[in-house]
Structures are given as C-alpha cells and as structure tokens.
Amino acid sequence: MRVALCIAAETARPMIYRPYAQEDFIALYAIEEACFQPPLRFGRGYMRRLVHAANAATWIADDNGRMAGFAIVDWRRDAGVVTAYIQTIEVAADQRRRGVGGELLRCVEQSARAAGAALLWLHVDEENSAAIHLYETHGFCREVREENYYARSRAALVLVKLLPPES
Ligand SMILES: CC(C)(COP(=O)(O)OP(=O)(O)OC[C@H]1O[C@@H](n2cnc3c(N)ncnc32)[C@H](O)[C@@H]1OP(=O)(O)O)[C@@H](O)C(=O)NCCC(=O)NCCS
C-alpha cells in the first residue's frame, strides 16, 4: 500500500487551468447541478449558450482529468468602453478552500484584460458569504445592492473591480 501511494504521489500532476473544450459540458453542468438548485440554477440551454458565446471565455480547473471547477466571463463594448461580467465561478464541494476559486478568478480576469475590459463586475447573492469573501479578497468592491434580483426575492450585491491597463 505504501509503495502504491508513493507512485501515485510521484505521477500526480498538479491542478491545471485551461480553456473549456466541447467535451467538458457534461462535467461542467454536473458541477452547476451540485452547486445550485432551481430556480437559482442556470438551465442547460442557457449554460450551453454561455460557454459557446463568441464574446466569452470559460476556464476549467482540471485535476488530473477530473473537473474541479469552472468560471465563465463575457464582455461587451458600449460607446467604445469594454466591460466584462463574471457569469459564474463554481468549485466542486470537495475541492473548496484550496485556492481553486481564486485561480479561476485570476483566469477570468486575464481574459477580461485580454478583451480590453476596463472593468470587471458581477452579481452575487448577498447571503453567499464564501463568494463575497473570495471576490473581496481579490480586490472587488461593493457597488450597490439590488433588491429581488434573484428568484425567491433574494437580493444581490453588485461587486466591481477596475482593471487599469498593465504597465
Ligand atoms: C465561492 C467558491 C467559488 C469559492 O471557491 P474556493 O475554491 O473555495 O475558493 P478559494 O479556496 O480560492 O478561497 C479564496 C478565498 O475566498 C474566501 N472563501 C472561500 N470560501 C469561503 C468560505 N466558505 N467562507 C469564508 N471565506 C471563504 C476566503 O477568503 C478564501 O481565502 P482563504 O482560504 O485563504 O481564507 C465556492 O465556495 C463555490 O463554488 N461555491 C458554490 C458556487 C457559488 O456560489 N459560486 C459563486 C457564484 S457568484
């Protein structure tokens, strides 16, 4: 047993963060189903549109071939200014508090910067203290509270982060 464990440790690859591929959808949606119950859950069709949108990037946390989490960001240009919006970040329950969410956040921020975004923003359930901590740890600030944003009259916080050009 001890020999087998050593071999496993030597051959184990670290978590990698990579762009979404079409064959990821089933595992990605399984994480969505584990993280959110209806009516808060994204529908399968809506999720497919998000991950295939031209103005979006989906990042996968890949733990030796098993999906540990994912994040989706999209962006739009209005009057010459690009803003990016985090649609979601989700980490499988048994992989949380290991920095996966933080790394996924770094990946989506990188995609937003590459798209020329000056600002990254999102909605988060005001009762989702884990996610709010994650975002605030990574430099997001509370902008406004939106009453009844989510189903069942749940309020959202809008969090924003300015993305000054990197020197
Ligand atoms: C929110 C979520 C993505 C965080 O993922 P994670 O991989 O656990 O995050 P990390 O390990 O990178 O944590 C980074 C920081 O976020 C904060 N944080 C994360 N989970 C937390 C928790 N349960 N309670 C308090 N702070 C928490 C901490 O500041 C943490 O840093 P620390 O571990 O050094 O204290 C994860 O809990 C999740 O998938 N939740 C369900 C889906 C969801 O609600 N997504 C948000 C949609 S807006």
- Neighbouring residues of 66: CB distance < 8 A, sequence distance ≥ 6: 27
Q: What is the C-alpha to C-alpha distance for residues 14 and 59, in angstroms, rounded to an integer?
A: 16
- Dihedral sign from CA coordinates of 152, 119, 78, 52: negative
pLDDT tens, position by position, 120-147: 999 999 999 999 999 999 999 999 999 9
Residue 40: domain span:
13-162
Q: For tokens 């464990």, name the residue.
A: 5
Give the residue, by CA position, lying nearest to ligand 1 atom 35. Answer: 97
Angle CA(52)–CA(136)–CA(116) in degrees, nearest 5?
A: 45
Q: What pLDDT score does 27 carry?
A: 98
Residue 152's domain is classified under what CATH number? 3.40.630.30
Choice from 98, 134, 158 to test ligand 1 binding pocket (greatest atom count within 8 A of CB)? 134
106 Cβ neighbours under 8 A, 6+ residues apart: 138
Give the residue whose CA is nearest to atom 17 of ligand 1: 134
In a domain, residue 8? The reply is no
> Which residue among 133, 140, 157 has the greatest number of ligand 1 atoms within 8 angstroms of its CB, and so is best to mutate?
133
Nearest CA to ligand 1 atom 23: 130
- Distance (Å, rounded) from C-alpha 35 to C-alpha 41? 8
Q: Is there a contact between 42 and 50 (Cβ–Cβ < 8 Å)?
A: yes
pLDDT digits (tens, 9 = 90+) for 108-124: 999 999 999 999 999 99
Q: For residue 11, what pLDDT is reported? A: 56
On whether residue 3 sits in a domain, the answer given is: no
The answer to whether 155 touches 148, Cβ cutoff 8 Å, is yes
Find the 96 Cα to ligand 1 centroid distance in Å: 7
Write down the pTM of the prediction. Answer: 0.92
Query: Within 10 A of 90 (CB to CB), how many other CB atoms are there?
Result: 22
The Å distance, Cα 104 to ligand 1 centre, comes to 11
Question: pLDDT per residue over 55-95, tens digit each?
Answer: 999 999 999 999 999 999 999 999 999 999 999 999 999 99
Q: Is residue 7 part of a domain?
A: no
How far away, in angstroms, is 90 Cα from ligand 1 center?
9
Q: What's the order of all strands across the beta sheet hosting 56-63?
A: 16-19, 56-63, 66-78, 81-91, 119-125, 154-162, 141-150
- At 31 the pLDDT is 98
Q: Whose CA is nearest to atom 44 of ligand 1?
A: 131
Look at residue 12 in the predicted model and tell me its pLDDT. 65
What total number of domains does the chain contain? 1
The minimum-distance atom of ligand 1 relative to the CA of 134 is 16
